[in-house]
Amino acid sequence: MKNILVLCTGNSCRSQIAHGYLAHFAANKANVYSAGIETHGVNPRAVAIMIQDGIDIARHTSNHVDEYLGKVDFDFIITVCDHANENCPFIPAPNAVRLHRNFSDPSKLKTKDEQEIHEAFQATREEIKAYCKVFVRGHLLTEEVS
């Protein structure tokens, strides 16, 4: 069983979405954890956009990366925003494959238009979903991920 850590700034949106998809696509092939270099609570819009795709992340918690240091031996560490990639503390995991992909943060959209906000969350969700499918297919599974 592989251990995967997904890191973001506040562990509220992008890392939570990735956590949900990685756990879904990897099934029993991996333990998935997510954390932030800060904790901002799980974004309710992230929960809602994932429910629309059939994945429930409502029970996820916003965790600080320090909670896992020295407790879990990670095989993969994935940063999903530039800020976390540049500011994350050292994680002692000498054998971990470290990957980075900057996804847009829909919670930072400067509008009050609910349709635009929804579309931003949906676009980020779809981008993260595609990335997670490719990651799981390439690193954990030999069969096709649907």
pLDDT digits (tens, 9 = 90+) for 54-89: 999 999 999 999 999 888 899 999 999 998 888 877
pLDDT digits (tens, 9 = 90+) for 111-127: 888 999 999 999 999 99
CB 5 within 8 A of CB 68: yes
Residues with catalytic function: 8, 81, 88
Instruction: Give me the chain's average pLDDT, please.
Output: 91
Tokens of 106: 């829909």
Instruction: Of 32, 141, 123, 126, give the one whose Cα is nearest residue 78.
Output: 32
**Annotation: CATH topology of 2-139:** Rossmann fold (3.40.50)
Instruction: Of 99, 92, 98, give the one whose Cα is nearest residue 131.
Output: 99
CB 74 within 8 A of CB 91: yes
Q: What pLDDT does residue 28 have?
A: 87
- Cα–Cα distance measured from residue 82 to residue 86, given in angstroms and rounded to the nearest whole number: 6
In this structure, the number of other CB atoms found within 10 A of the CB of residue 50 comes to 24
Q: In terms of C-beta density within 10 A (0-12 exposed, 13-18 middle, 19 or more buried), how is residue 37 classed? A: buried
CA torsion angle for 12, 15, 17, 23 (degrees, to 10)? -130
Domain residue ranges of the chain, discontinuous segments joined by +: 2-139
**Residues near 78 by Cβ (< 8 Å), separated by ≥ 6?**
4, 5, 6, 7, 18, 98, 99, 100, 101, 135
Q: In terms of C-beta density within 10 A (0-12 exposed, 13-18 middle, 19 or more buried), how is residue 135 classed? A: buried
- Cα–Cα distance measured from residue 65 to residue 9, given in angstroms and rounded to the nearest whole number: 10
- Decide if pLDDT at 128 tops 60: yes
